[in-house]
Structure 1
Amino acid sequence: MPAWANRICALLLPLVLGVSLAGSAGAQTSDLVSNSALRVCADPANFPMSSRDETGFENKLAELVGSKLELPVQYTWYPMATGFVRNTLNAKQCDVIMGYAQGHELVLNTNHYFTSVYTLIVSNDGDLADVESLSDPDLKGRKIGIIAGTPPSAHLARNGLIGKAKAYNLVVDRRHESPAVDMLNDLSSGEIDAAILWGPLGGPLVKTDFSDLKVIPLIKEELPPRLFYRITMGVRQGEKVWQRKLNSLIRRNQDEINALLDDVGVPLVTDLGTEVMDISN
């Protein structure tokens, strides 16, 4: 991204970071949050989520939030790796992380503003185009790309698919390495037969750069671990006033947020991860 959250390739990364909390539980928003700008903590090289040229969808979301608050957007850039929260949000260099998985203790979560899911990505016109589940027999014997250590790995193992899988690194500095892009390039070239990526990462990449590929949300997986995650904005622990302000903004502008995410290719699913949302209605 589940950010993205516990951000695997931006969703699950915060779950593997060894970051300590530094915020004060009794902090007052007026003492810590800027009144002159929306100060955003972001990775400068995490496209399609965030990027220094501000073309990522989290950048677009920040612009939307800033416009609703009538504040300009200012960034504190830091790689999404060990020390991200400590050196940005908790160091009071910025006031919000645009994408963070619900329920993680490093930050105070707002209400979630979207739910997404891991996806299977295959060739548009290939013989896997109709696969909807990782238990499908058509996947037997196929070479599938997977980000090492992510939840779908357990599903591959359960279905006897892990032996031929090609693993890509989980924790990387995206300024120098892009496992998701490498995986999709390998899929397009025939090096692998299918790819599994977090939807907010794979969906937008396919839409912008891999028109020969098809994104299939994995909403039919019934056994654990779950493959869907609710994504929030993250603020400092104790900043309840700021959290409530953002909650109100999300609630009042949910349709506009959904449209932004859908437009860039993020697969949106219902809160329980069982159905793909149709926001056209």
Structure 2
Amino acid sequence: MAEVAAGAIRSAMLTMTAMACIVATAPDAAHAQNAGLGAAGELVDPDVLRVCADPSNMPFSDESGEGFEDKLAKMVAEGTGRKSVSYTWFPSITGFVRNTLGANRCDIVMGYAQGDELVQNTNAYYRSVYVLVYPKNSPLAGVVTLADPKLSGKRIGVVEGTPPTANMAAAKLMGDAKVYPLMIDSRRAPSMAELMMRDMTAGSIDAAVIWGPMAGYYAARTGADMVLVPLTHEKGGQRMIYRITMGVRPSDQNWKRTLNTFIKDNQPRIDALLLEYGVPLLDEQDQRIAE
């Protein structure tokens, strides 16, 4: 799910929760530990798509099944011949991979930033970017980089430790910024993206810099016209664009190849699903992919 390194961007994608509890649905723990052998003896269940996910992290995953990764999981199950989907729910805190994928409780993490060594990445199924968000009637119209002088003195919301903080610091914007915590219990409090949108609508911040998939989803739910500017023109600082993959165990080479084939054969359907949720998708030339 995108911070200074791939593991940190996952913290932005999968809003971190403060409590580490596992709620596993079928298959139960015993079945999960003894899943049927897949190709070449891999510990991948051939009949059930066993997913590890955060139970309360819209728009990515949720116990309600309303996240786009939940919808994608159903597509993957159908496309790889699985009869059903089951979940091991675990908040995306330190130990997420160790206690889920690494413990053979599941066989896939639906969204993982490319380059994180804790998992084996499939091919990327989308590229997205951090975005600057501001109200449509804002004097910030025309801003395309965080170095724009128009942002000087503005109250900009940003999540602590995310890549934009480095670029904002270089532009001397952090002194006026409103910094939101990275670690929250999203089962008991709104996500930081949702809270930033509320604050912007109320006028307590002038703009926000948010991971694109979260920004697109929550901006559409404010009831106000919001402008989303992909930060594709940043010079120096931290990178803003990330490839998102599916994560599997390093040993599951055949499973990875199966998923790569699924992604290749279903890319238009995947794009359509992501666009429904307002995800700002980028092609390889950093241009927006439109509906």
Same fold (TM over 0.5): yes
Moved over 4 A (4+): none
For 1:276 and 1:2, the matched residues in 2 are separated by: 19
Contact 1:119 1:218 survives alignment (8 Å): yes
Q: Report what 1:221 is aligned to.
A: 234
Note the 1:1-281 alignment, pairs <5 A. 1-2=1-2, 5-6=6-7, 7-10=10-13, 30-71=41-82, 72-177=84-189, 178-271=191-284, 274-278=286-290, 280=291
Structure 2 residues without counterparts, runs of 5 or longer? 17-37
Contact 2:134 2:208 survives alignment (8 Å): yes
For 1:269 and 1:140, the matched residues in 2 are separated by: 28
For 1:75 and 1:209, the matched residues in 2 are separated by: 30
Amino acid in the other structure paired with 1:247: N
Contact 1:230 1:271 survives alignment (8 Å): no
Amino acid in the other structure paired with 1:200: P
For 2:140 and 2:280, the matched residues in 1 are separated by: 19
Q: Report what 2:33 is aligned to.
A: none
Kindly state the Cα deviation for residue 262 of structure 1 after the two structures are TM-superposed: 1.1
Kindly state the Cα deviation for residue 214 of structure 1 after the two structures are TM-superposed: 2.0
Kindly state the Cα deviation for residue 201 of structure 1 after the two structures are TM-superposed: 1.2
For 1:229 and 1:86, the matched residues in 2 are separated by: 23
Amino acid in the other structure paired with 2:219: V
The DSSP-based 3-state class of the residue aligned with 2:157 is: strand
Contact 1:8 1:198 survives alignment (8 Å): no
After superposing the two structures, state which structure 1 stretch, 65-74 or 33-42, moved more.
65-74
Contact 1:188 1:213 survives alignment (8 Å): no
- Percentage of identical aligned residues: 46
Structure 1 residues without counterparts, runs of 5 or longer? 14-26
Count of equivalent residues:
264
TM-score of the two chains, using structure 1 as the length reference: 0.88
